Chain A
Amino acid sequence: MSPFCEIFKRSVLQLVRRPVYWVAMFLLPLFVFLFLSSLMAEGLPQKAPAGVIDNDGSPLSRKITQNLNGMQMVDITAMPESFTEARHMMQEGKIYGFFLIPHDFEADLLAGRSPEISFYTNMTYFVPASLLFKTFKTTALFAKAGVASEVISSVGFTQNPSPLLQPVNIVTRPISNPELNYAIYLCVSFLPATLQLMIILVTCFSLGQEIKYHASRRLLEMARGSIVRAIYAKLLPQTLIWTVIVIFMESWLFRWQGYPMHGSWWWLTLSEILFVLASQGFGLICFGIFPNLRLSLSMGALIGILSFSVAAFSFPVESMYPAIGIFSWVVPIRYNYLIYVDQALNGIDIYYSRYWFAVYFIFIVLPFALMPRLKRAFAQQAYVP
């Protein structure tokens, strides 16, 4: 058997024998896939608990309450008697916002004394509060428009009053995600980011184990002294497993979950496979810089976890401080995300994604520069806890 095959076989056996690899390569990633996509299956959280303080108690104020309760995103669960009571309920987490109709609201409105309607949203919880804000505002505006059109017709204006009330209309068209599905954002970025984390960790862990258990010199011997052969034969079985998982993830997201896929499957698949290689390359870089089990794992974990934020899936790079934003370009997941946006979400020409594909290769090639350092570490096989 050739040295390459021998190491390959040894590496496969190592993977099969240690349960920790099963957990890290199959169980945890698949659990995260299932968890995230099932948690957010609805797309947007519906029915946020909210309250109405109706100090007026008139037919008009009851109508407004009914309208609010009929909205999709809101569930009026409480009718607090006072502002203080409503604030307490908010602090206790029973409601996420409330709507305040003042005393003598209807009477003041009809008399033209401009009563003020107000609503309060608890921005401590961003998503429910934003949805409540939108619903409250729409309801208040509709109520206002209803009153205004009555006033207008009462002065003798007979045409349809709506252009008069809203002469300019800007229609917003969210391209590719018209229903503003929140799950699309979180799943398509967080699942590959989870994989990147696990790939980096498993790469560092499996190499570090060789040194920790004094097997690295033997590995080098098996590879007839070639560190490149040793490393690549050792990592190849992992590459194959990760490739299967990443293609499963791609199908899971874009086929079975039905997230937007407007481009070519081939380019996306190519991107996913290169992403696996780039992440392994990144793990190799971590291990090449610190050929020590704990340090490389610490660095991999640090970067892997920070990637979820710094790769800008929720907060855009151009809004970050430049000194921080620059770090978004040094993690493979950023390119996976950008290619997803171009190729799957927007379905544009591959020409626009050419740079992102090219960067993957930098991650793949860069570890070669660290091979001499790795070879030294493998030959010394000194485990520092």
Chain B
Amino acid sequence: MKKFFREYYDTFLREGRMVKGDIGILIFFILLPLAYPIVYSLIYNPELVRDVKMVVVDHDRTPLSRELTRRLDATEGIRLIGYASDLSEARRAIDSHKAYGILEIPEGFARRAGRLEQANAVMYCEMSLLLRYRAILVGATDVMQDLGATLTTERIDEIAPLAETITAGADLMPIHNVTMGNLESGFDSFIMPGILILILQQSLVLAVGMCGGASREHPFRSCYAPFGATRPIIASILARTTLFLMIALIPTLYIIHYVPLMFRFPMAGNIFEEILFILPMMLSSIMLGMIFQGVVRERESVFLLWVVTSVIFLFLSGLTWPRYAFRAPWLFLSDCVPATWGVEGFIRMNTNGASLSQVGESYRNLWILTGVYAIGAYVVQRFVQYPAVRRHAGQSVSASC
């Protein structure tokens, strides 16, 4: 027992000293979680796509067609930048990236409306970005219904003054829609809470992975007893976990509380419950980092091996592409990533105001992952990392670039 605490204490001090002296590791632990959320949030902070540029080809040139054009221009999503004389001129505006949509109003538009036929106009959208298309579509739908309601009211009075039911209360059956959670449907408020958790996981795994590389390169500085003494590995793992948790504490608080505060993301959750929730996410990420140490032969290879996984984890988390549409193998892979459950639970607490018991499934799965990865970490440390560090201690680091 004494040996256990001795090892715990030793490792804690020596690993702490190593981290303190290594700028690379400190950058991953502290600078990355501090700086990334700000840069990311700033990119998406305007939240909505407004004023997508459009040109009009008006073959009708009547008061009704001008009314339609005016109303479209007045929507949030659309801005008309001018008239084109025909479709090919409008097409040139699209091709030279000056506009992203064309409204074509055919000849006879107003005449058809006057004859009680349906008057059709066509909206062509350039499809390089879905959000631009969405802005145009929402604007066009609103105008279509709005202008349609005005015309319907006028006509019904002409045909059948009796049909008061439709016109009197203006609406026979009002339709009301409410967005929940992310109230303004902003892009930043949607994607950032999830990205924050991903940043936290990646910063922990990268930092712990780099610690492993550093230990191999400088075995004498690190916590492992290089010359064969059999000391309890569990004590060393526990000591390092405590150390990493302590270092990551402030960045984590900053990420889950202060970043949403600064950028006015939805914050419906209880901060204490969120901290409780995020704890197993951090633990499982640290354990994952210790497993990752098994393949990190030198400090810098973490960049090559792990940075790109951020893209994979982003999609596995189900933030952009929902998990119910995953196929079985990807669903399994996604189940194995701490950030999946972290993102799912955190955004529901933070954005939808769920309590810890309501995200119980994610919470339980995070603890299961922590357990499984802890066993994995023990195996990797015992059979890969320790022998590797001892080997390196025996010989000077060989040049093999």
- Verify if B185 is at the interface (C-beta below 8 Å from A): yes
The reply to whether the CB of A84 lies closer than 8 angstroms to some CB of chain B is: no
Say yes or no: B165 contacts A151, CB within 8 Å: yes
206-250 of chain A: CB within 8 A of chain B: 206, 208-210, 212-215
Q: Does A136 contact B (CB under 8 A)?
A: yes
Contact residue among B127, B132, B299 (Cβ-Cβ distance under 8 Å from A385) = B299
B144 located at the interface, meaning its Cβ lies under 8 Å from any Cβ of chain A in the complex: yes
Q: In the complex, what residues of A have CB within 8 A of residue B187's CB? A: 126, 314-315
In the complex, the chain A residue whose C-beta lies closest to that of B116 is A163
The A contact surface, by secondary structure, is helix
Q: When the two chains form the complex, which single residue of A42, A109, A172, A301 contacts B307, counting CB atoms closer than 8 Å?
A: A301
Question: A interface, how many residues as a size bin?
Answer: 35 or more
B172 neighbours in A (Cβ, 8 Å):
109, 112, 114, 144, 147-148, 151
Q: Check: B272 CB closer than 8 A to any chain A CB.
A: no
Q: Is A321 in contact with B174, judged by CB distance below 8 angstroms?
A: no
Contact with A along B303-314 (1 / 0, CB 8 A): 111011011100
How many angstroms from the CA of A133 to the CA of B327 in the assembled complex?
A: 24
Chain B proximity of A196: nearest CB distance (Å): 11
Interface centre among A128, A352, A385 (most CB of B within 10 A): A385
Residues of A within 8 A of B121 (CB): 168-171
- The segment from A90-98, A274-282, A359-367, A369-377 found at the interface with B is A90-98
- Cβ of B303 and Cβ of A144 under 8 Å apart? no
A11 and B310 CA atoms in complex are apart in Å by 29
Residues of A within 8 A of B129 (CB): 185, 312-316
Expressed in whole angstroms, the Cα–Cα distance for A212 and B400 within the complex equals 10
- Bound Cα distance A144, B301 (Å): 61
Given A163-B116, A175-B125, are A151 and B166 neighbors across the interface (CB < 8 Å)?
A: yes
B136 touching A172, Cβ below 8 Å? yes
B352 within 8 Å of A (CB atoms): yes
Judge whether A265 is part of the interface by a CB distance below 8 angstroms. no
* Residues from chain A with Cβ under 8 Å of B123 in the complex: 170-173
For A116, the chain B residues whose CB sits under 8 A away are: 173-176
Q: Is the CB of B118 within 8 A of A162?
A: yes
Q: Is the CB of A17 within 8 A of B166?
A: no
Q: Chain A residues with Cβ under 8 A from B45's Cβ?
A: 321
B171 closest partner in A (C-beta):
A114
Contact (Cβ within 8 A) A301 B303: yes
Most buried by A among B122, B159, B321, B347: B321
If A117-B173, A127-B320, A156-B160 touch, whether A210 touches B358 (CB-CB below 8 Å) is no
Q: Which of A1-9, A51-59, A292-300 contacts B (4 or more CB under 8 A)?
A: A292-300
Interface residues of B in 55-86 (CB under 8 A from A): 68
Is B261 interfacial (CB 8 A cutoff)?
Answer: no
Residue-wise, chain B 124-149 has the 8 Å CB interface mask toward A (1 for contact) of 11111111111011001101100110
Q: Which residues of B contact A119 (CB under 8 A)?
A: 175-178
What residues of chain A lie closer than 8 Å to B122, measured between beta carbons?
A: 170-171, 173
Given contacts A91-B348, A175-B126, contact A168 B113 (CB under 8 A): yes
Q: Which chain B residue shows the least CB distance to A300?
A: B303
Known contacts: A165-B152, A305-B310. The answer to whether A117 contacts B176 by CB under 8 A is yes
A171 in contact with B120 given A208-B300, A319-B49 (CB within 8 Å): yes
- Chain B residue with the shortest CB-CB distance to A190: B311
Q: Chain B's nearest CB lies how many Å from the CB of A32?
A: 6
With contact pairs A173-B123, A293-B300 given, residues A23 and B305 touching in the complex (Cβ less than 8 Å): yes
Contacts of B185 in A (CB 8 A): 123, 126
A144-B175, A214-B399 in contact; A294/B299 too (CB < 8 A)? yes
Q: How many residues of B contact A (CB 8 A)?
A: 113
A168–B65 CA distance with the chains assembled, in angstroms: 10
- Interchain CA distance A348-B22 in the complex, whole Å: 52
The answer to whether A349 and B95 touch (CB under 8 A), given A32-B311, A341-B128, is yes
Q: Smallest distance from the beta carbon of A221 to chain B beta carbons, Å? A: 16
User: Cα distance A168–B71 when bound, in Å?
Assistant: 13
B257 within 8 A of A: no
Nearest-neighbour CB distance to chain B for A381, whole angstroms, equals: 11
> Nearest B residue to A112 by beta-carbon distance?
B165
Asked if B263 lies at the interface with its beta carbon under 8 angstroms from chain A, I say no
B367 contacts chain A at the CB level, 8 A cutoff: no
Q: A123-B180, A157-B160 are in contact. Are A47 and B308 (CB under 8 A)?
A: no
Chain B residues in 8 Å Cβ range of A172: 123, 125, 136-137, 140
Q: Which residues of B contact A28 (CB under 8 A)?
A: 305, 308
Cβ-closest chain A residue relative to B130:
A185
* Nearest A-chain residue to B143, judged by Cβ: A170
Q: Which residues of A contact B253 (CB under 8 A)?
A: none
The answer to whether B49 and A316 have CB atoms under 8 Å apart is yes
A133 touches B116 (CB 8 A): no
Q: In the bound complex, do residue B130 and residue A180 qualify as a contact, i.e. CB atoms below 8 Å apart?
A: yes
> CB within 8 Å of B: which residues of A?
14, 17-18, 20, 23-24, 28, 31-32, 35-36, 38-40, 42, 45-49, 87-88, 90-93, 96, 109, 112, 114-130, 133, 136-137, 140-141, 143-144, 147-148, 151-152, 155-157, 159, 162-177, 180, 182, 185-186, 190, 193-194, 197-198, 201-202, 205-206, 208-210, 212-215, 293-294, 297-298, 300-301, 304-306, 308-310, 312-316, 319-321, 324, 341-342, 345-346, 348-349, 352, 385
What are the 9 closest A-B residue pairs judged by CB atoms, nearest first? A209-B401, A45-B325, A124-B181, A91-B354, A213-B399, A123-B182, A118-B176, A213-B401, A167-B151
Residues of B within 8 A of A (CB): 22-24, 27, 39-40, 42-46, 48-50, 68, 94-97, 103, 113, 116-134, 136-137, 140-141, 143-144, 147-148, 151-152, 155-156, 159-160, 162-163, 165-166, 169, 171-183, 185, 187, 190-191, 266, 297, 299-301, 303-305, 307-308, 310-312, 315, 319-322, 324-327, 330, 344, 347-348, 351-355, 358-359, 361, 399-401
> Would you give 5 A-B contacts (Cβ < 8 Å), ordered by A?
A148-B166, A165-B148, A185-B130, A209-B401, A346-B94
Knowing that A174-B133, A305-B307 touch, tell me 17 more A-B residue pairs with CB under 8 angstroms.
A48-B324, A92-B348, A109-B173, A148-B172, A151-B166, A152-B156, A164-B159, A167-B152, A170-B121, A173-B122, A176-B127, A185-B130, A186-B320, A213-B400, A213-B401, A320-B44, A345-B128
